[in-house]
């Protein structure tokens, strides 16, 4: 489409004005004979389908067709001229266009040159620092010890723990309890049915766990707690709260032993085999963390040494996307809507900062890719598509759908390009 627009672009005088790093005003002057060519082209396109009384299809003269179509005839031609002239100017001046142009100062008079301006947002020119051989601090990963393996094994055991009912003893610290209780504060009472809690000093509120330790199954109790003034929940801080509580169930957590039986239960031949896998996994994790630390040093250097304006439309779009994600995540986590509203300004401030840094880093990376001729092939995108969607059937319809989904392909291409450039920078860095 862009090639067709460029090929049919009118000959025009172009004047380029830099408004800011990310904004250009392009002024066009199109000779009237070029406008006439477009009018004739429009006439040829529409004459066969325009029904005009007294003329056979395709035989009405241009003047008659113009009168029949009215303002639409002229506006269609002038719009084509604007779009085609802009495409050629963008190509000739190597502008990296973002979004849609804003056409202004459009002046058309029959027999005179057609003039108009186009204000466009562009990716700015980026003056890169020396990016080969960036000096960074070497971060060799710490060796994986048996203590590391033990800790990870304990975490796995905790994840596979189960709860047993307790009927023959009172509630202890560290148990789990199902409780029904009423909570009264400031003259208002709220009831909670069969709530599941872990019994610790900080259960529900400071001091709550200590009050219920020692209670028996089915036992009822009334007590009062005064919440500390500096408690994190401002609504509860400093209040005196009365409780009427009943113990419905007592449960204790059973953690499986670290033995062959446990290893087999989670898919390994033996405990020794499981420990070897944990050792390998932890070692690989530490290596990735070390590499990410070094890459972070590289990116901080590039961000500090490169100064340019980030396009406003990209920043607004990325900020909006990030804010939507944060709000949805907060709602899924059960954060009250009122709290989200109260914290919105602070969230927005954080998100603008995150979006700005991320966009700036990406623009630097893509500029390095351009300088170094680093590219991603269609075959690489296809391979990544198959890896990320292994469960999809490989019938022709599915493959065609994947190929037609340009947004997904663009995202994958950009991700792969970032990975290639980051790998290039990391490999060329000087680790001291």
Report all structural domains of the chain as residue ranges with CATH numbers, in order of start: 2-122 (3.30.70.1050), 162-254 (3.10.50.40), 270-431 (1.10.3120.10)
Residue pair 245/180 in contact by the 8 Å Cβ criterion: yes
- pLDDT of 49: 57
- pLDDT of 11: 82
In terms of Cα–Cα distance, which of 9, 14, 31, 11 is closest to 112?
31
In terms of Cα–Cα distance, which of 428, 411, 306, 318 is closest to 367?
306
User: Does the pLDDT at position 60 exceed 70?
Assistant: no
Q: What is the mean pLDDT of residues 176-202?
A: 90
Whole-model pTM?
A: 0.72
**pLDDT-derived band of residue 126, with 50, 70 and 90 as boundaries?**
very high
DSSP string, 156-211: HHHHT-EEEE--SS---TT-EEEEEEEEEETTEEEEEEEEEEE-STTSSSTTHHHH
- pLDDT of 48: 55
Residues 6 or more apart in contact with residue 66 via CB below 8 angstroms: 39, 43, 73, 74
Looking at the DSSP bridge assignments, the partners of residue 243 are 183, 223
In percent, the amount of the chain with pLDDT more than 90 equals: 66
- pLDDT of 64: 65
User: Does the pLDDT at position 200 exceed 70?
Assistant: yes
- pLDDT of 10: 72
């Amino acid at each position: 489409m862009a090639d067709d627009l460029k090929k049919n672009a009118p000959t025009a005088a172009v004047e380029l004005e830099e408004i800011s790093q990310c904004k250009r005003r392009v002024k066009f002057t199109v000779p009237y004979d070029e406008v006439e060519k477009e009018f004739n082209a429009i006439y040829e396109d529409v004459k066969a389908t325009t029904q005009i009384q007294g003329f056979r299809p395709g035989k009405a003269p241009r003047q008659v067709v113009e009168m029949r179509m009215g303002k639409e005839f002229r506006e269609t031609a002038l719009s084509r001229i604007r779009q085609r002239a802009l495409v050629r100017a963008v190509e000739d001046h190597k502008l990296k266009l973002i979004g849609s142009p804003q056409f202004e100062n459009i002046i058309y008079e029959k027999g005179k040159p057609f003039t108009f301006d186009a204000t466009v947002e562009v990716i700015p020119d980026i003056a890169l620092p020396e990016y080969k051989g960036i000096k960074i601090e070497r971060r060799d990963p710490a060796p994986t010890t048996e203590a590391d393996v033990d800790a990870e094994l304990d975490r796995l055991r905790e994840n596979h723990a189960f709860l047993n009912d307790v009927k023959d003893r009172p509630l202890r610290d560290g148990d789990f309890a199902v409780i029904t209780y009423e909570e009264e504060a400031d003259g208002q009472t709220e009831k909670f049915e069969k709530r599941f809690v872990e019994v610790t000093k900080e259960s529900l509120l400071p001091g709550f766990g200590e009050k219920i330790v020692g209670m028996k199954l089915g036992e009822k109790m009334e007590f009062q707690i005064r919440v500390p003034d500096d408690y994190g929940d401002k609504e509860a801080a400093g209040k005196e709260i009365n409780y009427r509580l009943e113990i419905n169930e007592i449960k204790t957590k059973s953690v499986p032993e670290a033995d062959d039986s446990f290893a087999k239960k989670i898919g390994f031949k033996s405990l020794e085999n499981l420990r070897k896998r944990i050792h390998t996994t932890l070692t690989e994790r530490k290596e990735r963390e070390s590499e990410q630390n070094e890459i972070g040093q590289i990116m901080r250097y590039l961000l500090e040494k490169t100064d340019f304006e980030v396009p406003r439309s990209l920043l607004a779009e990325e900020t909006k996307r990030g804010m939507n994600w944060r709000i949805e995540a907060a709602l899924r986590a059960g954060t009250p809507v009122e709290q989200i509203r109260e914290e919105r300004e602070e969230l927005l401030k954080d998100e603008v900062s995150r979006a700005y840094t991320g966009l700036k880093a990406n623009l630097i990376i893509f500029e390095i890719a351009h300088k170094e001729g680093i590219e991603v092939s269609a075959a690489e995108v296809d391979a990544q598509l198959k890896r990320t969607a292994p469960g999809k059937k490989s019938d022709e319809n599915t493959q065609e759908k994947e190929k037609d989904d340009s947004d997904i392909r663009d995202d994958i291409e950009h991700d792969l390009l970032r990975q290639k450039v980051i790998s290039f920078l990391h490999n060329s860095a000087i680790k001291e």
